[in-house]
Amino acid sequence: MEDMTNVIEMRHIVKDFNGFKANNDINLTLRKGEILALLGENGAGKSTLMSILSGLIQPTSGTIKVREQKVNIKNPTIAKDLGIGMVHQHFMLMESFTVLENIILGHETTKGPKLDFKKAEKQIKTLSERYNLNVDPQKKISEITVAQQQRVEILKVLYRGADIMIFDEPTAVLTPQEITEFIQILHELAKEGKSIILITHKLEEIERAADRVTVIRAGQSVGTFAVANVDNNRLAELMVGRHVNMQVNKPTEKVGRTMLQVEDLHVKNKQNVAVVKGLSFNLHAGEILGVAGIDGNGQDELVRALTGLQHVDSGKIIIDGEDMTNRKVRQITEKGVSYIPADRQKYGLILPFSVSDNLALQTYYQEPFSRHNVMHYDVIHEHAQKLIKQFDIRTTSERMPVSDLSGGNQQKVIIARELSRNSNLVIAFQPTRGLDVGAIEYIHNQLLNERAQGKAILLISYELDEIMQLSDRIIVLHDGRISGEVKPENTSDEELGLLMTGVKKEGSAFA
């Protein structure tokens, strides 16, 4: 039950990174048993503020009270002892360790000199049953889906006994179904008296989950509001500082030649199980083809096959008239394919490299970026400065390592690079994941611009809104096959939902 006691009070928090104030006088209070949303543009300072609360970084100035006691959270151990746990924006799990090992890492139960795995496993089982967090403790992290990894992160925080829980964009990696389950878990936790801070860019999630919302902009507090008293348009305006148009205006375009032809494609996943089971479709210049579907129905493997990351068992991939089946990544790139991957840190960026270098990742060996094997750094930097401006990438310098950018701004680096490159085919997998509403508006318009210029765009997304608003045609994947093809103007969320669960479309060519 919500009461008015503050469990957290952050006052006048400032965090200076070499002269740049990522937090510049922020106030935040969290009440016992409430769900507080923290909202702000990409780069506004949300993750920084929460890293301060969880002891990962130290504030330059400001005070923090936990349960009305002034504290100095010098390190994560102190945060843990204060009952503060955080699920980070980019997960911090060991891929080759099991779920169980990851959960107990740093908080091991021992029996004499030995680890007591049995006891730990029992505790974890109790926790996962209580909160409906089904994960197999014996599976390796590399074998489970992102949604399951999310649950592992939650279990980790629960196992450590946290009663103040921070979630940094937990839903960015979840599908709509998983989001609903996740919000239920949050309500469950709050009901038991846990106090929760939730960072999300999705305004309708704030409406569904949170009691109050604290808005910050450019490192400063804008205000805190009862969710019942502010609507989404107002929230968007408060956070971006201008009106945001959340409806896309899509003009009709004439389609051109076939840019992508997929014929009876069969692909296996990393565990050698067939997951793409005979896909056929085509995509034309000047067209956006949406691929809808529930996560895990062949999307990953389709994209990996198209981009040369995964071997094709049988079938064909023809790009702009040329058979590109089982070609190398670079050959496919040079054929004119841009790729915005779903996992930005794993496949989209080289984190320790500068923003400049990341913006030239596929083109650094070509003119004008280099000549006769000599890199032209002035050209690379200039190119970066142009894109930083054009795509509103929030960074103090193009020389900054991309790892120091906020999550959403890392995403903008990838999009800027891929859309500015000379390509005919854009494969966009969850392109607006983790972006704020203002940035989404901009990226959607960019994709429509690309379409107007005659590019072909394959848009794979779990956001039905995004698919419905941008696509000219939509194919729905179910169990590695197409369960239906529809046009957004002639379908509904309900019909798409049915197709996504495998109910075939009547009269469909694929039925």
Ligand X SMILES: Nc1ncnc2c1ncn2[C@@H]1O[C@H](COP(=O)(O)OP(=O)(O)OP(=O)(O)O)[C@@H](O)[C@H]1O
Binding site for Mg ion (CB under 5 A): 47, 89, 406-407
Q: Establish if 44 lies at the interface with ligand X (CB under 6 A).
A: yes
Contact 42, 409 (CB under 8 A): yes
Residue 417 C-beta: closest distance to ligand X, Å? 17
Q: Which of the choices ligand X, Mg ion, none does residue 48 contact, using the CB cut-off of 5 to 8 A by kind?
A: ligand X
Q: Please choose, out of 16-24, 113-121, 130-138, 357-365, the segment that lies near ligand X by the rule CB under 6 A.
A: 16-24
Residue 381 C-beta: closest distance to Mg ion, Å? 26
Cα dihedral 414, 415, 419, 420 in deg (nearest 10): -60
Q: Which of the choices ligand X, Mg ion, none does residue 307 contact, using the CB cut-off of 5 to 8 A by kind?
A: none
Distance CA 434, CA 430 (A): 9
For 282, other C-beta atoms within 10 Å of its C-beta total 14
Q: Which is closer to ligand X, CB of 286 or CB of 408?
A: 408
- Which 382-411 residues touch ligand X, going by CB under 6 A? 394-395, 404-409
Q: Which is closer to ligand X, CB of 90 or CB of 284?
A: 90
Instruction: Tokens for 386, please give them.
Output: 């142009």
Q: Which of the choices Mg ion, ligand X, none does residue 333 contact, using the CB cut-off of 5 to 8 A by kind?
A: none
Distance CA 346, CA 100 (A): 23
Contact 164, 7 (CB under 8 A): yes
Instruction: Tokens for 2, please give them.
Output: 């919500």
Instruction: Tokens for 181, please give them.
Output: 């389950």
- Select the residue interacting with ligand X from 40, 55, 170, 438 (CB under 6 A): 40
- Which 224-253 residues touch ligand X, going by CB under 6 A? none
Q: Which of the choices Mg ion, ligand X, none does residue 150 contact, using the CB cut-off of 5 to 8 A by kind?
A: none
- Select the residue interacting with ligand X from 10, 32, 37, 48 (CB under 6 A): 48
Region of residue 161 (phi > 0: left; psi between -120 and 50: alpha; otherwise: beta) = left
Contact 187, 165 (CB under 8 A): no
Q: Establish if 8 lies at the interface with ligand X (CB under 6 A).
A: no
H or E element that contains 14: strand 6-17
Q: Establish if 43 lies at the interface with ligand X (CB under 6 A).
A: yes
Q: Which is closer to ligand X, CB of 201 or CB of 455?
A: 201
Residue 23 C-beta: closest distance to ligand X, Å? 8
Instruction: Tokens for 79, please give them.
Output: 């945060």
Q: Which of the choices Mg ion, ligand X, none does residue 438 contact, using the CB cut-off of 5 to 8 A by kind?
A: none
- Which residues, 6+ apart, have CB-to-CB distance to 420 below 8 Å? 387, 390
Residue 68 C-beta: closest distance to Mg ion, Å? 28
Place of tokens 């779920």: 99
Instruction: Assess whether the previous peptide bond of 431 is cis (omega < 30° from 0).
Output: no
Q: Which is closer to ligand X, CB of 53 or CB of 468?
A: 53
How many residues touch ligand X under the rule CB under 6 A: the total is 20
Residue 320 C-beta: closest distance to Mg ion, Å? 38
Q: Among 343, 337, 354, 340, which residue's Cα sits nearest to residue 416?
A: 340
The DSSP bridge pattern shows strands 288-292 and 312-319 to be unpaired
Q: Establish if 42 lies at the interface with ligand X (CB under 6 A).
A: yes
For 415, other C-beta atoms within 10 Å of its C-beta total 26
Q: Establish if 459 lies at the interface with ligand X (CB under 6 A).
A: no
Distance CA 444, CA 314 (A): 34
Q: Which of the choices Mg ion, ligand X, none does residue 43 contact, using the CB cut-off of 5 to 8 A by kind?
A: ligand X
Q: Which is closer to ligand X, CB of 30 or CB of 440?
A: 440
Q: Which of the choices ligand X, Mg ion, none does residue 85 contact, using the CB cut-off of 5 to 8 A by kind?
A: none
Q: Which is closer to ligand X, CB of 265 or CB of 388?
A: 388
Q: Which of the choices ligand X, Mg ion, none does residue 40 contact, using the CB cut-off of 5 to 8 A by kind?
A: ligand X
Q: Establish if 17 lies at the interface with ligand X (CB under 6 A).
A: yes
Q: Which is closer to ligand X, CB of 261 or CB of 345?
A: 345
- Which 408-437 residues touch ligand X, going by CB under 6 A? 408-409
Q: Which residues pair with 17 in a beta bridge?
A: 20
Residue 439 C-beta: closest distance to Mg ion, Å? 13
Question: b or e along 252-274 (b: 16 or more beta carbons within 10 Å of the residue's beta carbon)?
Answer: ebebeebbbbbbebbbbbeeeee
Q: Which is closer to ligand X, CB of 302 or CB of 437?
A: 437
Distance CA 503, CA 267 (A): 23
Distance CA 388, CA 500 (A): 38
Residue 436 C-beta: closest distance to ligand X, Å? 6
Provide the residue count of the chain. 511
Residues within the interface to ligand X (CB under 6 A): 17, 20, 22, 40, 42-48, 89, 394-395, 404-409
